[in-house]
Structure 1
Amino acid sequence: MARKSQELGRFTDVALLVLISLAEGQKHGYRMISDIEEFSGTSLEPGTLYGALMRLEERGWIEPVASAERRKPYRITDGGRAALREQLATLRRVEQTGVRRSLAWGPA
């Protein structure tokens, strides 16, 4: 049985974009901002990104990776992958419902 949204808490678009970016592999903030803009066309401000990183880390969906460099990389956790899969499944249902309902009105 799928988890309910109350268990996941409020899931923002930024959080989803971060999880999608980290699903490809670990990244630091600047690389995430570039990647997210590349695949989604969404330009994030650093404050927006770092707020989302903090919330995702608190939930245990991402974690920092030890690094000798100045930049702090993050990676997605197993819990983050499960949350991402659930959110993507929800988005597919929403998209399918939207397409079906919009077609019910006929051509534009």
Structure 2
Amino acid sequence: MPEVLGPTVDDQTRCVHYRTPLDVIAIRFRCCGAYYPCHRCHEESAGHPAAQWPVAEQDTAAVLCGVCRTELSVRQYLAVEACPRCGAGFNPGCRLHAHLYFEPDPSGQR
């Protein structure tokens, strides 16, 4: 089971920055390969700048469901609003921060 770094507040990957019932994912950062609950946790804990996942690597497992611990590829995560394995809903507001983690697809496709 992947370890989630940073200031988590529970075992479902919620952190001190984002802790609503829907904040149940962690992102594996491309720069270091480590999972963090959010961009702010990485910024405060990692000691290096974050790097976005390029569009060409969207099939890489980089998102962890904090409820069932299923790893999703970037492409899978961007296409769903809930975990395909356990049905746990993901925070739709996370889409506002997607550009911090994932390079935007210039074709507009997910």
Q: Could you say which structure has the larger radius of gyration?
A: 1
TM-score > 0.5, shorter chain as reference = no
Instruction: Normalising by structure 1, report the TM-score.
Output: 0.30
